[in-house]
Amino acid sequence: DGGITQSPKYLFRKEGQNVTLSCEQNLNHDAMYWYRQDPGQGLRLIYYSQIVNDFQKGDIAEGYSVSREKKESFPLTVTSAQKNPTAFYLCASSVNSYNEQFFGPGTRLTVL
Amino acid sequence: KQEVTQIPAALSVPEGENLVLNCSFTDSAIYNLQWFRQDPGKGLTSLLLIQSSQREQTSGRLNASLDKSSGRSTLYIAASQPGDSATYLCAVSPPLNDMRFGAGTRLTVKP
């Protein structure tokens, strides 16, 4: 089955901890994205990567970090510097930057 | 900076009704516009993609139109069903990446 997977589905973090959200795709897409969704708001772009070993900040990159060591994988780390990390995180991929984006099922992060 | 607005924020209709969801954007220099469906607690499912050179796209009971010059898109749903209940989001892609999303319209179709 081709698609995008995210894990875990639910994640709980204590204050001061770093956590890493996984995103994997087997669609052979070059571009991958991380979005944050808060209730009643549209998705906001955290980071995106157009190609392996390259990534750019989106609108709300502060307190987050990413890596793109493999084409299939684009993990997102939520660091302790992110002051309000409780949200729904969505990963997406596309053939390239100008094509239709396909989304994973999301990870809900809650800070305890 | 591109801003995307969806009106109404919520809509409730009886089953069988035809309905229109609206999306407006402030900068007409877009590469494409995409409509998505999101069920509660789930990811986004792509419904229709309209390239900037196109005026509309159709898939089954769904028809999306695009008027770049006026910064508007509509999603028409024919013969609505309870299974259509979800949040519908539109998003625009400018020529240099960075897709912008509206906040969505939450649709409820009552049996």
Question: Considering CB atoms only, which of A42, A45, A104 is closest to B4?
Answer: A42
- Is-contact A76 A20, C-beta < 8 A? yes
- Determine the pLDDT at residue B98: 73
Radius of gyration of chain B (CA): 13
For residue A55, the tally of other CB atoms under 10 A from its CB is 20
- Determine the pLDDT at residue A21: 97
- Determine the pLDDT at residue A97: 74
Nearest to B84 by CA among B16, B4, B23: B16
In the numeric block, the tokens 């024919």 are attached to: B78
Question: Considering CB atoms only, which of A59, A100, A105 is closest to B42?
Answer: A105
Rounded CA-CA distance B104/B61 in Å is 19
Chain B residue with minimum CA distance to A60: B98
Question: Are A92 and B98 in contact (CB < 8 Å)?
Answer: no
- Is-contact A102 A92, C-beta < 8 A? yes
Residue B76, C-beta contacts closer than 8 angstroms, at least 6 positions apart: B18, B19, B20, B62, B63, B64, B65
* Partners of residue B34 in chain A, C-beta under 8 Å: 100-101
B4 interfaces chain A, CB cutoff of 8 Å: yes
- Comparing A99 with B49, the larger pLDDT belongs to B49
Instruction: Tell me the three state secondary structure of residue A102.
Output: strand
- Determine the pLDDT at residue B96: 61
Average pLDDT, chain B: 93
Mean pLDDT score, B10-39:
95
- Determine the pLDDT at residue A47: 95
Percent of chain B past pLDDT 90, that is, above it, reads: 86
Mean pLDDT score, A22-27:
97
Nearest to B21 by CA among B105, B91, B109: B105
**Over 60: is that where the pLDDT of A1 sits?**
no
Question: What are the tens digits of pLDDT across the range B85-111?
Answer: 999 999 998 766 678 999 999 999 999
